[in-house]
């Protein structure tokens, strides 16, 4: 045992009170840092798992004309999402890309929901091909009432959250087309009014901001769904068949109702004359984005080229593509590679990570992380101040002892080392216990499986369930945090120690 260590060790025991003060603060700091970090890690992991697995995949494709990346929650009340132009070409790239496991084109956006009194409310809608959706996200939601709409069938799946919300706002209780009232699914208020509830089995809505040319669409409610995770968040979205979505957003139209384009009526489209008229994105785009003008020639050219693809449902309009990557493929790399490919082909498409796409929640996560980080920083700050003070006091209290050691021939560094050791030992011991306790708490929290329906808490949890994590990198973060605190806290006391001169050994009262 080195001399310095021996003296440091014994001083810790001699000055128990001070050691305990410093130890306690280090313990609390390490504990909070471990648990906080664990919650953040769990949140990030949970978010990533839930959102990637259940809702968006790893990467989202959007139109390059889209200003903000935050397409899923970021633009509530804003403009509708831009349609992805020349989707077919983009699809070819996706099909060839080996990093991609699966992808799913969808249409997302907000619609206004009308009631009989022409009052308006809004909901987020996700227009999907139900068959493909279930292939890509089989666990995304479960039915609580009714049934799913069949491929090609018109229908909407209402989220539990939206049903409750719409009851609160518009006083009707949504039921599946041919479903019975299930009393145990009612909210408290609805249950109280159960005897004279007004039911609604279909909804009328229109695309939120498709300015002049909106179409009111009536769509039957097929089922009520509950999302597997982050229900409070994802519950903002109801799920509708893609054709209804397109219709509501006027993606396909002009004078002709989209119904004619729906899968049920595909036969109509087999007529050659209609073919060239409705079958292409180019025509669709021409009518929805008025600022663009295709020349008649180019239009003819486009229609000719695309004519053969008219029966392919994919030829319709999409504004989002959810992409799931193969295992162990880096999101960043995939995004970069896809964007490179799109640029090469001059396609107006942009690949973004799911994090960018969820925007608001993504940044909410960053905010929560930041808040926790600030909190830990605050703990650090307090810890540093307390330790600094206590150590400086200790240095001054031992001034004649230290001066004497200097007089006897101890170099400044020897005495500084003594203080570093003292603090280091305390930091190691109490910090270690703090980390250990923190890890135990994390495991207890994991085992307790706390769940929440609170929207904010779901964000903190990264899902419905609190599932904090403790990984090697977390340990590294906490240990380096502890180290930094210890080093900063000891700096000033070391300065005090350094100023003690041999003459201080000779106490003069």
Partner 1 sequence: MNVIEITGVKKNYPLGTTTVHALRGVDLQVAKGSFLSIIGPSGSGKTTLLNIIGCIDSPSAGSAKIQGHEITALNDRQITDLRLHKIGFIFQTFNLIPVLNVRENVEFPLLLMRKYSKKEIDTRVEKLIKGVGLSEYIAHKPAELSGGQRQRVAIARALVTNPDIVLADEPTANLDSETSEAILQLMRDLNETEKTTFIFSTHDPEVLKYAKNIVKIKDGLIVGQE
Residues that bind partner 1 (CB under 8 A): 3, 6-7, 10-11, 14, 400-401, 403-412, 414, 501-503, 505-507
Q: Least Å distance between CB 25 and partner 1?
A: 23
> Smaller CB distance to partner 1: residue 3 or 377?
3
Name the residue nearer to partner 1 (CB basis): 191 or 506. Answer: 506
Q: Which is nearer to partner 1, 114 or 407 (CB)?
A: 407
Other C-beta atoms lying within 10 Å of the C-beta of residue 245: 30
Q: Is 85 helix (H, G, I), strand (E, B) or coil?
A: coil
Nearer to partner 1, 20 or 120 (CB): 20
Smallest distance, Å, CB 401 to partner 1? 6
Q: Which of 13, 184 has the CB closer to partner 1?
A: 13
Number of H helices, E strands in the chain: 20, 12
CB-CB contact of 107 with 242 (8 Å):
yes
For residue 507, the minimal CB distance to partner 1 (Å) is 6
16-47 helix and 360-397 helix, angle to the nearest 10 degrees: 170
| Rounded-to-integer distance, Cα 378 and Cα 486, Å | 15
Residue keyed to tokens 């040319």:
213
Q: What is d(CA 230, CA 183) in angstroms, rounded to the nearest whole number?
A: 24
Inter-residue contact 392 to 496 (CB < 8 Å): yes
Smallest gap, in angstroms, from Cβ of residue 411 to partner 1? Answer: 5
- Name the minimum Å distance from CB 476 to partner 1: 35
Q: Which is nearer to partner 1, 142 or 499 (CB)?
A: 499
Q: How far is the CB of 7 from partner 1 (least distance, A)?
A: 6
Q: How many residues does this entry show for the chain?
A: 509
Q: What are the respective helix, strand and coil percentages of the chain, to the nearest 5?
A: 55, 15, 25
The span from the CA of 52 to the CA of 353, in Å, is 10
CB 256 within 8 A of CB 215: no
Q: Which residue, chain included where needed, has tokens 């006391």?
A: 493
Q: Where are the beta strands (DSSP E) in 228-265?
A: 237-241
- Toward partner 1, which CB reaches closer, 6 or 332? 6
Cβ nearer to partner 1, comparing 277 with 429: 429
Name the residue among 214, 247, 264 with its Cα closest to residue 317. Answer: 247
d(CA 129, CA 244): 11
Instruction: Tell me the closest approach of the beta carbon of residue 386 to partner 1, in angstroms.
Output: 23
CB of 4 to partner 1, least distance (A): 10
How far apart, in whole angstroms, are the C-alpha atoms of residue 154 and residue 364? Answer: 35
The answer to whether the CB of 490 falls within 8 A of the CB of 385 is no
């Amino acid at each position: 045992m080195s001399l310095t260590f021996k003296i440091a060790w014994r001083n810790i025991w001699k000055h128990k009170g001070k050691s305990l003060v410093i130890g306690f603060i280090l313990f609390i700091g390490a504990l909070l840092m471990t648990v906080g970090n664990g919650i953040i890690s769990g949140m990030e992991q949970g978010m990533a798992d839930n959102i990637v697995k259940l809702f968006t995949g790893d990467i989202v494709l959007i139109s390059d004309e889209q200003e903000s990346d935050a397409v899923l929650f970021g633009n509530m009340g804003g403009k509708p999402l831009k349609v992805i132009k020349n989707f077919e070409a983009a699809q070819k790239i996706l099909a060839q890309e080996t990093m991609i496991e699966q992808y799913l084109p969808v249409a997302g956006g907000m619609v206004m929901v009308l009631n009989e009194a022409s009052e308006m409310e809004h909901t987020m809608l996700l227009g999907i091909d139900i068959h493909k959706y279930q292939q890509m996200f089989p666990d995304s939601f479960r039915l609580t009432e009714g049934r799913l709409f069949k491929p090609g069938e018109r229908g909407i799946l209402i989220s539990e959250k939206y049903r409750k919300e719409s009851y609160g706002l518009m006083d009707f209780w949504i039921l599946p087309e041919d479903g019975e009232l299930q009393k145990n699914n009612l909210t408290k208020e609805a249950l109280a009014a159960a005897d004279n509830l007004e039911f609604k089995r279909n909804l009328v809505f229109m695309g939120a901001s498709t300015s002049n040319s909106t179409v009111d669409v009536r769509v039957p409610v097929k089922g009520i769904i509950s999302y597997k995770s982050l229900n409070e968040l994802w519950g903002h979205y109801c799920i509708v068949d893609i054709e209804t979505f397109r219709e509501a957003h006027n993606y396909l139209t002009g004078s002709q109702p989209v119904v004619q384009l729906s899968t049920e009526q595909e036969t109509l489209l087999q007529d050659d004359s209609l073919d060239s008229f409705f079958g292409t994105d180019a025509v669709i785009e021409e009518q929805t984005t008025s600022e663009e003008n295709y020349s008649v020639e180019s239009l003819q050219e486009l229609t000719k080229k695309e004519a053969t693809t008219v029966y392919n449902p994919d030829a319709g309009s999409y504004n989002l593509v959810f992409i799931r990557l193969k295992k162990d493929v880096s999101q960043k790399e995939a995004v970069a590679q896809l964007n490179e490919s799109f640029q090469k082909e001059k396609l107006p498409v942009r690949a973004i990570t799911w994090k960018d796409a969820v925007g608001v929640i993504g940044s909410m996560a960053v905010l929560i992380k930041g808040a926790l980080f600030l909190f830990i920083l605050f703990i650090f700050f307090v810890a540093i101040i307390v330790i600094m003070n206590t150590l400086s006091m200790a240095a001054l209290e031992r001034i004649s002892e230290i001066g004497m050691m200097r007089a006897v021939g101890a170099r400044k560094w020897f005495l500084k080392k003594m203080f570093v050791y003292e603090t280091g030992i305390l930091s190691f011991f109490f910090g270690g216990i703090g980390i250990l306790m923190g890890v135990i708490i994390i495991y207890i929290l994991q085992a307790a499986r706390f769940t929440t329906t609170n929207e904010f808490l779901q964000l903190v949890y990264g899902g419905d369930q609190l599932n904090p994590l403790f990984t090697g990198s977390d340990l590294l973060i906490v240990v380096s945090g502890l180290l930094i605190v210890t080093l900063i806290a000891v700096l000033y006391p070391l300065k005090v120690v350094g100023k003690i001169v041999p003459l201080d050994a000779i106490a003069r009262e």
